[in-house]
């Protein structure tokens, strides 16, 4: 074995040179890796005894892409990825990529410059650059469509999805798939066959039949694709650039296509959207790191879960655990509510099965893990109990006191409260150290966010386990301290307050919704209220027409569910402004002597977003969030903040903190001390 450099080894086995790359954690294409590839290929080329080359990676994965940490920094002196790819394509000896783990982005692009590709059965590949606001900038947009055709390439580059080995084989990305433990032997066998049978030096760049065949109908193909995906890709810059590259692959010779790819790559890389999306990539991973907890903190076993409450939240929460094979006992007070809740879970699974995303057997396996009960005592053996009952402190305290007598020692007692004081709930038990908040977002089986609320007495192992189980069920868990509404709802309430004021001062609900939709949210606050139901938390007996919502509810308006809310809805849920609501607003404003004025879109946006940022600053100051990026992760995954804007704190940094201080004062809002301090010293929340 020869060490080519710190990350690359070369071994010769007969006529085959095996280049093994070992650069943990994911063999990303850092400067040493590029150098290792360039030098390794050159060494194998130079050795006359070598007739074929196998490129394989050590560790958990094949090359997972460019090294994202290098982006936006000054270039380091090393081989460029293009030099490496040129050397590979000009090699006189067949190069075989042996792929395990994930060949992603630049990693797949390197594999696409090899002559042949063999993969382990569990391997995946993809071009996920779009998720970082980029496009595959190392020829991926030109080589992939030549192998798989433009239709599949369009899907892969705009979704960034990972494709399993079997599918990749069918598509023509991989040439052979072998059992996981046969990757190196399989690659060696392929290399020897290539030598013995004098296989041609096949290059993806020269395969033209699929793009040639697509060319006559290309205009329609791309127009249809754009129209079909317009809503999904709204606001993002990178998908359109990716589409244009695939168009170039169909319409232009390879080298011309590469020029288009390069020209479109650079502005994306330098743009704010990609910067935001790259920031989010690292922010997501950072959120899992809890200050004061060692990365390898011992987790408590969670082999069974109890859930109290079979309503929408309880049922959705249960599905998360059933999906990963953890048995759930769900407890309700009345048989009718229990069977309704279990029925909804089954229906949800059956709907998923009808879309072909689950088999009938999967549905039964999951339902087989679910047990319903009317007796709290049935939770005696559960490792984790999550309470998802009505949002009322007295009810929760009573329940936790009872749980204290039921749960086994060491069981984690979690509350799904979205606002209430977890310490007060914990104090109702004799084991406050076992109590933690686990705030799921509706629909709980779909939304990725989980706020894990760390109580004053929550034990470290309990906190670590809540975070770990969150990851296991596919959530992005973020730690929050105990404060009213935690991170997300606490900030949201400031946006809601301003939205209400704006419609009294002169804007209409549709103006506020439009501005926030155009900013990139999936919907505005008034559409959201209509969707949730105006009567949530409203009490007819105590309602005295004190708010617009009271008056709307008193007038029988309930939102989407009865077709009347801030908007009117037809049977297909199409919205039109509601003159009735507008009258309620105008009357209400007149009664309070408010002189309505015209309010422009900039003011609407600033008044909705800046107070949220201000509250985010207070949350940081009070150490309710560990770091600004955690706040961003909450907003991205729980509240529809557009990912290409990085989250409220990242956005604020780029809007300008000094400007935000000035605008808050202009609107009569006192800036948080931390915000003023950062603005005055020219610092930012996120360091970005």
For ligand 3H9, the binding residues (CB under 6 A) are 25-26, 28, 61, 64-69, 81, 102, 104-106, 109, 128-129, 132, 134, 136-138, 140, 282, 285
Name the residue nearer to ligand 3H9 (CB basis): 180 or 518.
180
User: To the nearest whole angstrom, how small is the minimum distance from the Cβ of residue 129 to ligand 3H9?
Assistant: 5
Strand duo 176-178 + 124-126: pairing = unpaired
**260 pairs with which residues across the strands?**
none
Tokens read off for 482:
């105990």
Report the alpha-carbon distance of residue 612 to residue 671 in Å, rounded: 11
How far is the CA of 5 from the CAs of 20, 21, 40, 192, 598, in angstroms?
Answer: 11, 10, 9, 26, 67
User: To the nearest whole angstrom, how small is the minimum distance from the Cβ of residue 69 to ligand 3H9?
Assistant: 5
Name the residue nearer to ligand 3H9 (CB basis): 66 or 250.
66
Name the residue nearer to ligand 3H9 (CB basis): 125 or 502.
125
φ/ψ of residue 21, rounded to 5 = -95, 135
Name the residue nearer to ligand 3H9 (CB basis): 53 or 81.
81
Of all helices (H) and strands (E), which one includes residue 615?
helix 601-621
Report the alpha-carbon distance of residue 646 to residue 274 in Å, rounded: 9
- Residue 151's nearest CA partner among 123, 121, 172 is 172
Tokens read off for 457:
């007495």
228, 234 Cβ separation under 8 angstroms: no
527, 567 Cβ separation under 8 angstroms: yes
User: To the nearest whole angstrom, how small is the minimum distance from the Cβ of residue 119 to ligand 3H9?
Assistant: 15
Report the alpha-carbon distance of residue 662 to residue 353 in Å, rounded: 53
Crossing angle (nearest 10°) for helices 81-89 and 106-113:
20
Name the residue nearer to ligand 3H9 (CB basis): 132 or 369.
132
Catalytic residue numbers, as ranges: 109, 129
Name the residue nearer to ligand 3H9 (CB basis): 24 or 556.
24
Of all helices (H) and strands (E), which one includes residue 97?
strand 95-99
User: To the nearest whole angstrom, how small is the minimum distance from the Cβ of residue 245 to ligand 3H9?
Assistant: 11
619, 490 Cβ separation under 8 angstroms: yes
Full DSSP string of 484-538: TTTTHHHHHHHHHHHHHHHHHHT--HHHHHHHHHHHT-SS-HHHHHHHH-TTTT-
3-state secondary structure of 559: strand
User: To the nearest whole angstrom, how small is the minimum distance from the Cβ of residue 678 to ligand 3H9?
Assistant: 26
User: To the nearest whole angstrom, how small is the minimum distance from the Cβ of residue 517 to ligand 3H9?
Assistant: 28
User: To the nearest whole angstrom, how small is the minimum distance from the Cβ of residue 518 to ligand 3H9?
Assistant: 28
User: To the nearest whole angstrom, how small is the minimum distance from the Cβ of residue 636 to ligand 3H9?
Assistant: 16
Name the residue nearer to ligand 3H9 (CB basis): 292 or 593.
292
Name the residue nearer to ligand 3H9 (CB basis): 245 or 386.
245
| CA torsion, ordered 85, 86, 87, 90, to nearest 10 deg | 120
- Residue 635's nearest CA partner among 653, 648, 617 is 648
User: To the nearest whole angstrom, how small is the minimum distance from the Cβ of residue 282 to ligand 3H9?
Assistant: 6
Name the residue nearer to ligand 3H9 (CB basis): 79 or 104.
104
Of all helices (H) and strands (E), which one includes residue 164?
strand 163-164
User: To the nearest whole angstrom, how small is the minimum distance from the Cβ of residue 607 to ligand 3H9?
Assistant: 36
User: Residues 6 or more apart from 332 whose CB is under 8 A from it?
Assistant: 309, 310, 338, 341, 372, 373, 374
Tokens read off for 374:
């009317």
Name the residue nearer to ligand 3H9 (CB basis): 83 or 404.
83
Say which DSSP state 428 is in: T
- Residue 485's nearest CA partner among 669, 631, 621 is 631
User: To the nearest whole angstrom, how small is the minimum distance from the Cβ of residue 156 to ligand 3H9?
Assistant: 13
Tokens read off for 2:
């020869």
Report the alpha-carbon distance of residue 654 to residue 272 in Å, rounded: 9
Report the alpha-carbon distance of residue 603 to residue 659 in Å, rounded: 13
Report the alpha-carbon distance of residue 170 to residue 153 in Å, rounded: 14
Report the alpha-carbon distance of residue 330 to residue 374 in Å, rounded: 8
- Residue 403's nearest CA partner among 375, 423, 372, 422 is 375
Strand duo 328-331 + 412-415: pairing = unpaired
Name the residue nearer to ligand 3H9 (CB basis): 109 or 459.
109
- Residue 81's nearest CA partner among 31, 42, 129, 25 is 31
Report the alpha-carbon distance of residue 604 to residue 567 in Å, rounded: 19
User: To the nearest whole angstrom, how small is the minimum distance from the Cβ of residue 124 to ligand 3H9?
Assistant: 8
Name the residue nearer to ligand 3H9 (CB basis): 284 or 378.
284
Name the residue nearer to ligand 3H9 (CB basis): 285 or 665.
285
146, 204 Cβ separation under 8 angstroms: yes
Report the alpha-carbon distance of residue 283 to residue 442 in Å, rounded: 23
How far is the CA of 611 from the CAs of 106, 497, 648, in angstroms?
Answer: 41, 9, 11
User: To the nearest whole angstrom, how small is the minimum distance from the Cβ of residue 169 to ligand 3H9?
Assistant: 20
Environment class of residue 392 by beta-carbon count within 10 Å: exposed (0-12), middle (13-18) or buried (19+)?
exposed
């Amino acid at each position: 074995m020869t060490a080519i450099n710190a990350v690359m080894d070369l071994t010769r086995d007969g006529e085959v040179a095996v280049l093994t790359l070992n650069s943990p954690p994911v063999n990303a294409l850092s400067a040493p890796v590029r150098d290792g590839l360039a030098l390794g290929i050159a060494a194998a080329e130079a050795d006359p005894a070598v007739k074929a080359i196998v490129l394989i990676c050590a560790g958990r994965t094949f090359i997972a892409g460019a090294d994202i940490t290098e982006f936006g920094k000054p270039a380091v002196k090393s081989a460029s990825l293009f030099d490496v790819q040129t050397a590979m394509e000009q090699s006189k000896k067949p190069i075989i990529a042996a792929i395990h783990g994930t060949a992603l982005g630049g990693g797949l692009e390197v594999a696409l410059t090899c002559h042949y590709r063999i993969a382990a059965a569990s391997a995946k590949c993809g071009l996920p650059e779009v998720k970082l606001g980029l496009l595959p900038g190392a020829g991926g947009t030109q080589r992939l469509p030549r192998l798989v055709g433009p239709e599949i390439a369009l899907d892969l580059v705009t979704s960034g999805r990972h494709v399993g080995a079997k599918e990749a084989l069918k598509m023509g990305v991989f040439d052979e798939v072998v059992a996981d433990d046969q990757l190196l032997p399989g690659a060696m066998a392929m290399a020897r066959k290539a030598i013995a049978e004098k296989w041609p030096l096949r290059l993806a760049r020269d395969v033209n039949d699929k793009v040639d065949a697509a060319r006559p109908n290309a205009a329609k193909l791309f127009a249809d694709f754009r129209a079909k995906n317009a809503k999904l890709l709204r606001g993002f810059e990178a998908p359109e650039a990716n589409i244009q590259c695939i168009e170039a692959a169909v319409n232009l010779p390879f080298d011309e296509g590469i020029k288009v790819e390069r020209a479109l790559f650079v502005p994306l890389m330098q743009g704010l959207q990609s910067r935001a999306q790259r920031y989010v990539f690292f922010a997501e991973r950072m959120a899992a790191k809890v200050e004061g907890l060692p990365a390898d903190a011992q987790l408590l076993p969670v082999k069974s879960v109890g859930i109290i409450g079979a309503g929408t939240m309880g049922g959705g929460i249960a599905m998360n655990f059933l999906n990963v094979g953890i048995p759930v006992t769900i407890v309700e007070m009345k048989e009718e509510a229990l069977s309704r809740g279990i029925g909804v879970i089954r229906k949800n699974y059956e709907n998923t099965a009808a879309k072909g995303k689950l088999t009938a057997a999967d549905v039964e396996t999951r339902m087989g893990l679910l047990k319903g009960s009317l007796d709290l005592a049935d939770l005696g053996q559960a490792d984790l109990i999550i309470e998802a009952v009505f949002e009322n402190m007295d009810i929760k305290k009573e329940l936790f006191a009872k749980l204290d007598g039921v749960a086994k020692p060491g069981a984690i007692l979690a509350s799904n409260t979205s606002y209430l004081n977890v310490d007060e709930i914990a104090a109702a038990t004799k084991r406050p150290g076992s109590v933690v908040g686990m705030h799921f977002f509706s629909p709980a089986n779909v939304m990725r966010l989980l706020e894990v609320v760390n109580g004053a007495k929550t034990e470290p192992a309990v906190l670590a386990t809540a975070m770990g189980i969150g990851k296991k069920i596919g959530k992005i868990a973020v730690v929050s301290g105990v404060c009213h509404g935690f991170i997300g709802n606490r900030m949201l309430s400031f946006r809601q307050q301003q939205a209400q004021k704006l419609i009294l001062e002169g804007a209409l609900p549709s103006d506020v919704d439009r501005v926030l939709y155009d900013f990139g949210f999936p919907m505005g606050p008034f559409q959201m209220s209509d969707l949730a139901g105006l009567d949530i938390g409203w009490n007819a007996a105590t309602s005295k027409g004190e708010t617009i919502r009271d008056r709307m509810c008193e007038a029988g308006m309930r939102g989407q569910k009865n077709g009347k809310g801030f908007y009117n809805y037809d049977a297909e849920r199409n919205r039109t402004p509601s003159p009735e609501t507008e009258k309620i607003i105008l009357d209400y404003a007149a009664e309070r002597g408010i002189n309505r004025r015209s309010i422009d879109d900039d003011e609407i946006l600033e008044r909705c977003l800046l107070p949220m940022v201000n509250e985010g600053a207070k949350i940081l100051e009070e150490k309710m969030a560990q770091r600004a990026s955690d706040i961003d992760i909450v907003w991205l995954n729980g509240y529809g903040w557009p990912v290409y804007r990085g989250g409220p704190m990242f956005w604020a940094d780029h809007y300008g903190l000094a400007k935000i201080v000035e605008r808050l004062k202009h609107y009569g809002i006192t800036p948080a001390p931390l915000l003023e301090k950062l603005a005055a010293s020219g610092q930012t929340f996120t360091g970005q």
